[in-house]
């Protein structure tokens, strides 16, 4: 699907994030830590979960962030559920939606409401191994490297334009758990970085490609050690 080529620019104030979660919230914690440390020009305005007892909700409340659970069973359709979520996001003036272990597919209406303003993190180097159990897929396929991907969300499953990736080796004795743990450390690094690029208005989508506009001088950029992270 073709995406808008417009340059994505946020306002001068801190970017307001809405984080959607279903589980323990380790990536949410990384985002909150980066925000509280001043490492990103963003603040988590609200956390929403489809699981009432998700650990991520308690985590958010411990940081003074409003955290809300919405029961999907009380909504007749996916669109009805998403409409409730959208209403909360609007009330909290959310500018960027971050999926952090959110296990529901978003409806086309939701994606249309926040076109090019929804990010997701996936524990594989997309387009390889989309969907569930990506780490298990990588091991079974015999991949020598895997990693994680930050991408904008479109109507497909893990098919949106790629913003950033980090490469992680797959070791001969890896299990799904050990590979997942190694990848997770990089997830916690690149999600805040991608959010900051968005907050600085440095991301541009052209078709399927996302371009990062540098603010450093060439000399500053050359000195920066990105390791196995791109960009």
Whole-prediction pTM = 0.90
Beta bridge partner(s), residue 67: 47
Average of per-residue pLDDT across 34-39: 98
- The reported pLDDT for the residue numbered 177 is 98
C-alpha distances in Å from residue 200, one per residue of 212, 213, 219: 10, 10, 20
User: Mean pLDDT across the stretch 175-200?
Assistant: 98
Facing residues of 145 across strands?
169
DSSP H helical ranges for the chain:
26-36, 55-62, 78-91, 108-113, 134-141, 176-199, 218-223
Residue 58: pLDDT band with limits 50, 70, 90: very high
3 pLDDT band (50/70/90 cuts)?
Answer: very low
Does pLDDT of 61 surpass 50? yes
Q: Tell me: the pLDDT tens digits for 72-115?
A: 999 999 999 999 999 999 999 999 999 999 999 999 999 999 99
CATH class assigned to 120-231: alpha beta
State the average pLDDT over residues 115-143: 98
Task: Please tell me the predicted confidence (pLDDT) of residue 214.
Answer: 77
Q: Do 14-115 and 120-231 share a fold?
A: yes
Q: What CATH number does domain 14-115 carry, 3.30.479.30, 2.40.50.140, 3.40.640.10, 3.40.50.170?
A: 3.40.50.170
Query: What are the C-alpha distances in Å from 227 to residues 35, 86, 166, 167, 190?
Result: 23, 37, 9, 9, 12
Please, what is the average pLDDT of the chain?
91
Task: Say which residue the tokens 């895997």 belong to.
Answer: 146
User: If you ran DSSP here, which 8-state letter would residue 67 be given?
Assistant: E
Look at residue 4 in the predicted model and tell me its pLDDT.
Answer: 54
Report residue 208 CA to chain centroid gap: 17
Report, as an integer, the average pLDDT of 128-134: 97
Would you call 53 a catalytic residue per the annotation? no
By residue count, the chain amounts to 231
In this structure, the dihedral spanned by the alpha carbons of residues 205, 206, 212 and 213, taken in order and rounded to 10 degrees, is: -110
Domain ranges of the chain: 14-115, 120-231
Q: Is there a cis peptide before residue 172, judged by omega within 30 degrees of 0?
A: no
Q: Which of 75, 109, 122, 188 is catalytic?
A: 122
221 pLDDT higher than 80: no
């Amino acid at each position: 699907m073709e995406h808008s080529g417009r340059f994505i620019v946020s306002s001068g104030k801190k970017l307001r994030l809405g984080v959607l979660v279903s589980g323990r919230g380790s990536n949410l914690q990384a985002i909150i830590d980066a925000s509280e440390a001043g490492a990103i020009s963003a603040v988590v305005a609200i956390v929403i979960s489809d699981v009432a007892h998700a650990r991520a909700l308690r985590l958010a409340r411990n940081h003074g962030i409003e955290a809300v659970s919405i029961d999907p069973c009380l909504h007749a359709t996916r669109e009805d559920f998403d409409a409730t979520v959208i209403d909360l996001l609007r009330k909290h003036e959310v500018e960027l939606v971050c999926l952090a272990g959110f296990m529901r597919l978003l409806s086309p209406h939701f994606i249309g409401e926040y076109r090019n303003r929804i990010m997701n993190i996936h524990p594989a180097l997309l387009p390889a191994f989309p969907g569930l159990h990506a780490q298990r897929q990588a091991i079974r396929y015999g991949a020598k490297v895997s990693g994680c991907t930050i991408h904008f969300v479109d109507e497909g499953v893990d098919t949106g334009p790629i913003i950033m990736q980090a490469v992680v080796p797959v070791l001969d004795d890896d299990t799904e758990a050990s590979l997942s743990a190694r990848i997770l450390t990089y997830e916690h690094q690149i999600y805040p970085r991608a959010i900051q690029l968005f907050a600085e208005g440095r991301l541009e989508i052209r078709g399927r490609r996302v371009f990062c506009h540098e603010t450093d001088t060439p000399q500053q950029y050359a000195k920066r050690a990105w390791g196995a992270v791109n960009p």
